[in-house]
Chain A
Amino acid sequence: EDQVTQSPEALRLQEGESSSLNCSYTVSGLRGLFWYRQDPGKGPEFLFTLYSAGEEKEKERLKATLTKKESFLHITAPKPEDSATYLCAVQAPWSGGSNYKLTFGKGTLLTVNP
């Protein structure tokens, strides 16, 4: 069974204090790893897709990396507006055939204080 574990569950940072969120996964046939941001009362907003180990993607203060067992979301000099829940999901074959399934982690709640 595919599993995705995110840590920590919650993280408080001061503005400008860089840190990393972790997403470890166990999956057969990884097709892609996705990072989403979710604000309170909103749906998940797509950030990045990583396809293979060694790949990196960047967007403003966020940088996502991927190894064979985990992904990191690095946040450099965060601002209060970066406060949100960050979700990780892995896509892998499911029920055979050409169907693929997303398995989500429980998320990391990031709070950035001014």
Chain B
Amino acid sequence: NAGVTQTPKFQVLKTGQSMTLQCAQDMNHNSMYWYRQDPGMGLRLIYYSASEGTTDKGEVPNGYNVSRLNKREFSLRLESAAPSQTSVYFCASSEWGHSNQPQHFGDGTRLSIL
């Protein structure tokens, strides 16, 4: 019973490099989310996908793109990494974004941009 799986767990990039963070859920959830968590700040929403085939910007989308590959998978892409994108990235899923069911999180990808 894996829940939400994120890969990789750790990554170091150089400024300007590109990378895709992967996320998959096995709970048959419709909605998926990408957050970043920085020291001294709450989790902030980057992008979300309310359902398969749709994506929308969150609070801090600049510098990121997303793809909802299918119902299970939602990827986050950094096209040209910047040091300000050093953070811990969390993927989450919920049954429906417009319901008040809780979001369930993966264990994160720790990303350092040098």
Interface residues in chain A, defined as those with a beta carbon under 8 Å from any beta carbon in chain B:
4, 31-32, 34, 36, 41-46, 49, 51, 87, 89, 91, 98-107
Contacts and interface: CB of A to CB of B under 8 A. Distances in A.
A32 B100 contact: yes
The SS class assigned to the A binding surface is: strand
Given A43-B106, A99-B56, A49 B100 contact: yes
B102 A34 contact: yes
10 contacts: A4-B42, A41-B107, A42-B108, A43-B4, A44-B90, A46-B102, A89-B42, A99-B56, A100-B98, A100-B100
Interface residues of B, number: 23
B11 to A, nearest CB: 15
B71 interface: no
B50 A99 contact: yes
B13 interface: no
A69 B102 CA distance: 20
A104 B98 contact: no
A45 B105 contact: yes
B41 to A, nearest CB: 6
